A and B are shown apart, each in its own frame.
Chain A
Amino acid sequence: MKIIKSIGLLLFIAGFSIFISTFFSANYKLSEDVLSAQLGDAAKIESFKEHADFIGESITSNFAFVAKLDEVFRSVNQEKLSQFGISEPEIDKLVNSNQGKFDISTISLFGDDETGQYKQKTFKDYGGWLDGREFGSQEEIRSQISNVVENIKKYQIVNEKGFDKYKIKDLKYSITKASSMGKVSDSPGLFLLLTYVLCIVGALMYILPKIEDGPPGIKNNGIFHSAMKNVGWLGILTGSFLIVFYIVLYFYPEYMTNWIIMVDPVSQFLKGSDAGRFFLYGFIYTLCILVMGVRMIIKYRHSKYQIVRTFSVMFFQTAFAFLIPEILLRLNQPYFDFKNIWPLDYDFFFDNELNTLMANGSIGVFMLGWGIALIIIGVPVFVYFFGKRWYCSWVCGCGGLAETLGDPYRQLSDKSLKAWKVERWMIHAVLAFAIVMTGGVLYTYWTGSSELFGVSSYDVRSVYGAWIGAGFAGVVGTGFYPLMGNRVWCRYGCPLAAYLGIVQRFKSRFRITTNGGQCISCGNCSTYCEMGIDVRWYAQRGQNIVRSSCVGCGVCSSVCPRGVLNLENADSDSRFSEPLLIGNDGVKISS
């Protein structure tokens, strides 16, 4: 058994090393074909080519290649701006031609050649409203004109003649992926085997023999002596890797194209097209839940609650989050995760999402109705009957990852009263942010106006997307597993958890019951509560645990050596019992 485990570990390390090395080992060659396929627009292809001296050349690192692309985009934009942008001397002239009052006809001074006409046209579009305005001073005129000129540069020229920042982000990724040469892009299937498959096999060989590690029971030996599970060097290393991985995934996908190419065969098989970064993400995510789900089941094999629950998260991730949406795409239907609920699914009400659903006839409308029904009926009704666990530790993908990949780190959550205070502020602030953001989005959707109280709803949504959607839920949410426990996002950030929690706290049949006077205050329950609930505080005074954050994972009940805790659904009025420790007949005092 030990040998199998060691071989498994070696295979895993081998697969992982190959995976890492492919990040650094790609070769890139930008061809004309790739360029025309990616850019489309002939004029842009031309200007790109003018500035790119490396077409057809082989470049041996992703950093170098991406830097070159960056340089091309920068110089194209610079050239276009100096060519089509209104210059400082021209601004001076314009200011001088307008004394006290602005007259739009003065823009004829830009001239009548091609660029002059362009300048006139764009100025009219962006600054037409200045016509006839009176100004107290020349300074004011200058500042208004300069603003207009800046806006033209920022919103018009880079977009029309050059490349705006969104386009650059997309292009960097797609050009890099298409230009990738070398072993990985030659035989992605082989590398799929050498990395992902090798890691899975290795991990399973390491995990499966644990079934022989003695009779079923609590297997927490050595956790706080472990370099991995007690924020030792291995934990810090793992956390750092996860954090970097997420940052690259969300913000710099152009560097990880080799990793994506390897899953192209899987993507082709499932949906008939190449993989994108979020396909890669979904793929790895699902694998982690499945493999670590097996570990979870073996570890808690004495507890049917844990077994059934783990199967549930494995199923919902694989079927609902991963397979069904891809199959829908293959059937030319909108991508849709039937178990994702707003506001966790924060872009559910974004205009592009709504438009896609609306454009897809009855199935799209059904999806829209389904999503809304989950929010307004599903959440309260199910939480009433079962507590928020029905979602957070049985269905949700974030929860699924936390309960499987994250299980080895559950003991790292902060149990202090202070952390609880911070948690309540933070999670409800994120919920409020999500509601405001979505309100703005819908306002824009219905009125067509992007400004609300002087703020652009597009800015708000992109801030939410970057800071909450990617930064908090992804980078911090998972990257901090080995540092702060497996539920950082669910506890401090998830707006859906906040909503589920409010219902759970105020109207639900769910509670954790404590068993009379049996608690010995040992602290196992609090230690292993991933949500940082000080379970013992309640148990040792004989009080039911009714907390908005409890995700009902049931691990407190599993680890309790005295059989004190039980997750139960019962009459919702009996939840808030007086603390009562059975046993002392001489006194009846609440502890």
Chain B
Amino acid sequence: MKHVVIIGNGIAGVTAARHIRKLSDYDITIISAESDYFWSRTALMYVYMGHMKLKHTQPYENWFWEKNRINLLNDYVKTIDHASKKVVLDKSEAMSYDVLIIATGAKPNKFGWPGQDLEGVSGMVSQQDLAYIEKYTKNINRGVIVGGGLIGVELAEMLASRNIPVSFLVREEEFWDNVLPQQEASMISRHIREHHIDLRLRTELKEILADENGRVKAVITGDGKEIPCQFVGLTAGVSPNIEMVKNSGIETKRGVLVDEFMETNIPGIYAIGDCAERRTPAPGRAPVEQVWYTGRMMGETVAKTICGEKTEYLPGHWFNSAKFFDIEYQTYGRVWNKLKENEAEFYWEHASGKIAMHFVYDQTSKKFLGVNTFGIRLRHEVFDRWLKQEADIFTVLSGLREANFDPEFFKRYEEEIVNAFNAAHPGKEVVLKGKKSIIEKIFG
């Protein structure tokens, strides 16, 4: 029987394994050096904050693996010997494979800052990082977080949940404005400050200082200021985990290079998830996409290919979501931080300054291109349909009621949004489709 070996028990590797099991009878082994069982990295913050225990973050019960004949091995893969089709392990004997999937994920970036390896400095990706952060944030007076992305804001929320004062160093003009348009970036920056985070924009890290025991005692910022602190979180992005692949004859660049079937230059060896890099990206997509959803989709796709139905990885329209403290964010289609050529936008923000929607569409054809939504949940299915149908912005706005995914009784803003659009775009008037429900009439 064919033996499929998967390195990495993250969402990419596990999804691949599950689907291979559905489609075939192959022997399957998943190797990971991080944890015995698959867990949701995305829930790391909630464990620290006491919303969950580690076991709650495991999407499948422990019996699941045996029942589905998926072997789990806790070990570290040192090298891949593709000539003899073996992976060399740290603790056990080398393991032979017929098909190999590299799904080793990513690790935190370190940009060579002086002091970046001191005691009390940590990235935030793995269970080991979680334990480290837990240990080094006990009874401290201040933590400094370097790098304003999604993981950084999560770490800020984590420390704040334990009433640890946080200084948050962000290189950009506003929080995450390399991804979010300026309006939203400044809205989120405000909200971060509302949670008493000392958010320092346009501020870089210069150096981390140690005390006499080699532990962090302060950081020096780019503008020469010293911030005393006992913990430093490095959250300036992640990069593919490819150390072990680098000298194996498998081609790498930023990540493990793969074609449209997620296959590397060595036949029978695939790479998926955070560690993979497409030689030619799918239309409209980046070569390296490090989110949960893409890992999962690559896993689904590669399983089909391995089980005999060669399938190209074709992610559909982009979507993503996140939560910045209390503000939920979803996006469908593409809203770039700066309008691209011939793009037009419509931005609406509620008076509370915490609810907003940002639509982008084609200036000439009026084709809808993407939406960012904050504080209002939107239906993925409806937006995916509009994007596929190349609906125009008028269709989208007039259909907003159908696209709302907020719980019952929540205040609805569609009328306000459409009115604002009409006021800003005299001419063709958008009429909101559908009727108010009784609940909406009573509760607004």
Contacts and interface: CB of A to CB of B under 8 A. Distances in A.
Interface residues of A, number: 54
A585 interface: yes
A226 B50 CA distance: 8
Contacts of A216: 326
Interface of B: 11, 18-19, 22, 40, 42-43, 46, 49-53, 56-59, 61, 161-162, 191, 194-195, 292-293, 296-297, 300-301, 304, 311-317, 319, 321-323, 325-326, 328, 330, 354, 377-381, 384, 405-411, 443
Given A515-B377, A582-B381, A557 B52 contact: no
Given A224-B51, A518-B319, A581-B296, A523 B304 contact: no
A584 B49 contact: no
Interface stretch (A77-85, A89-97, A199-207, A297-305): A297-305
Interface in A200-222: 214-218, 220-222
A216 B411 CA distance: 15
Closest 8 A-B residue pairs measured CB to CB? A516-B380, A217-B326, A586-B314, A563-B377, A522-B43, A585-B316, A304-B409, A584-B297
A160 to B, nearest CB: 62
Residue from B50, B301, B314 whose CB has the most chain A CB atoms within 10 Å: B50
Nearest to A539: B59
Contact of A585 (B161, B315, B319, B443): B315
Given A416-B61, A582-B380, A582-B381, A220 B49 contact: yes
Contacts of B410: 303-305
7 contacts: A215-B195, A221-B50, A305-B410, A416-B61, A521-B59, A562-B328, A582-B316
A536 B61 CA distance: 12
A379 interface: no
B136 to A, nearest CB: 17
B246 to A, nearest CB: 29
A448 interface: no
Contact of B326 (A215, A224, A416, A540): A215
A234 to B, nearest CB: 15
Contacts of B317: 583
Nearest to A217: B326
Interface in A548-583: 554, 557-559, 561-563, 566-568, 581-583
A589 B43 contact: no
Interface string A500-533: 0000000000000101111011111011000000
A421 interface: no
A583 B292 contact: no
Given A308-B443, A589-B300, A563 B405 contact: yes
A417 interface: yes
A223 interface: yes
A319 to B, nearest CB: 20
A308 B380 CA distance: 27
A420 to B, nearest CB: 11
Nearest to A514: B380
B408 A305 contact: yes
Given A224-B52, A305-B409, A536-B59, A586 B384 contact: no
Contacts of B22: 589
A567 B52 contact: no
Given A302-B326, A523-B46, 9 more contacts: A223-B51, A304-B410, A516-B380, A524-B46, A558-B407, A583-B297, A584-B301, A587-B311, A589-B22
